């Protein structure tokens, strides 16, 4: 029995009903809120394992609710929205959303994103190794192997890969990656990312032109699977 509890914050009754059916049929416990304020109260009184948050709420901006939640709530928040423009997506991810799905969404994709987000939140930074397919990363020794052989990476390449791996399944925006690896003054230098992502793909992917691990989220950033 899945014990994870999910709080749905959405003002559309039909969407809440649909999500309840999808989630409960997969053994999640569901709590619902029809407004931002109600969602904040429910989350504060009994913090759930994950929140599904609609951006277009009637009483408060979903982006504002996201910022308020991130002042104290540390579990994953997945944004659901009819808006699919890049600025909305980037803003939500940079403000702490674990993921972003546009409506209408496929139930299978939603469930996969939920599983991935909860799994990440349950993992600790004490994990010394991570295995992803034929790639293994030893965070203590800073060694990467693929198919049993050592992959030679520069310091920057390793740091970028480690950042991807520790956020497996999560969309990382261009700005976040540039800030974390190169610093605040490089947040617009997206060509840095293109170059280093390209070299990582050549070293880690069977087909760099059709990557299976470092995936592009067009106009937004990258996701490591």
Measured between its terminal Cα atoms, the distance across the chain in Å is 26
- The rounded distance, in Å, linking the Cα atoms of 139 and 73 is 27
155 vs 204: CA distance, rounded Å: 16
- 145 and 113 belong to one structural domain: no
Buried b (16+ CB within 10 A) or exposed e, 55-70: bebeeeebbebbebbe
Residue 88's pLDDT is: 84
Q: Of 75, 91, 122, which residue constitutes the final position of a domain?
A: 122
34: domain CATH number is 3.40.50.2300
Residue 149 or 87, more confident: 149
12 and 104 co-located in one domain: yes
Q: What is the mean pLDDT of residues 72-90?
A: 86
State pLDDT tens for residues 38-50.
Answer: 999 999 999 999 9
Q: Give the model's pLDDT for residue 85.
A: 78
Q: With H, G, I as helix, E, B as strand and everything else as coil, classify residue 170.
A: coil
Give the domain extent around 70: 5-122
Residue in 145, 175, 11 with CA at minimum distance from that of residue 80: 11
139, 128 contact by CB (below 8 A)? yes
Please state the domain count of the chain: 2
97 and 45 fall within a common domain: yes
What is the widest separation between alpha-carbon atoms in the chain? 56
Please indicate, yes or no, whether residues 141 and 108 belong to a single structural domain of this protein: no
pLDDT at 2: 60
pLDDT value at 126 more than 60: no
- Look up the pTM and report it: 0.71
Q: What is the pLDDT of residues 139-182, one digit of tens each?
A: 888 899 998 899 998 888 998 999 998 888 888 999 889 888 88
Grade residue 119 by pLDDT with cuts at 50, 70 and 90.
confident
Same domain, 43 and 134: no
Are 90 and 18 found together in one domain? Answer: yes
Three-state DSSP at 132 gives strand
One domain for residues 118 and 134: no
pLDDT at 10: 95
Distance between CA atoms of 79 and 57, rounded to whole angstroms? 12
Is the per-residue pLDDT at 125 higher than 70?
Answer: no
Of 165, 172, 160, the closest CA to residue 223 belongs to 172
**Would you mind telling me the total number of residues written for the chain in this entry?**
225
**Final residue of a domain: which of 56, 88, 122?**
122
CATH of the domain at 168: 1.10.10.10
Of 122, 154, 180, the position where a domain reaches its end is: 122
Tell how far CA 84 is from the center of its chain: 16
Q: What is the pLDDT of residue 130?
A: 84
pLDDT confidence of residue 120:
76
């Amino acid at each position: 029995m899945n014990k994870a509890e999910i709080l749905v914050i959405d003002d559309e009754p039909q969407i809440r009903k649909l999500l309840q059916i999808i989630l409960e049929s997969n053994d999640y416990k569901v709590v619902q809120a029809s407004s931002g304020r109600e969602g904040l109260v429910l989350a504060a009184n009994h913090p759930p394992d994950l929140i599904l948050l609609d951006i277009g709420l009637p009483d408060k901006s979903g982006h504002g609710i996201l910022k308020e939640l991130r002042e104290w709530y540390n579990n994953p928040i997945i944004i659901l929205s009819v808006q699919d423009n890049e600025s909305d997506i980037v803003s939500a991810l940079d403000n702490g959303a674990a993921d972003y799905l546009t409506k209408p969404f496929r139930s299978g994709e939603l469930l996969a994103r939920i599983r991935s987000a909860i799994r990440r939140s349950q993992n600790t930074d004490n994990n010394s190794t991570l295995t992803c397919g034929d790639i293994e990363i030893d965070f203590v020794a800073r060694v990467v192997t693929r198919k049993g052989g050592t992959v030679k990476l520069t310091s920057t390449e390793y740091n970028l890969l480690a950042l991807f791996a520790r956020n497996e399944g999560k969309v990382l925006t261009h700005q976040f990656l540039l800030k974390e690896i190169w610093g605040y003054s490089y947040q617009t230098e997206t060509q840095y990312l293109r170059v280093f992502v390209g070299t990582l793909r050549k070293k880690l992917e069977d087909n760099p032109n059709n990557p299976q691990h470092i995936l592009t989220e067009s106009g937004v950033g990258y996701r490591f699977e």
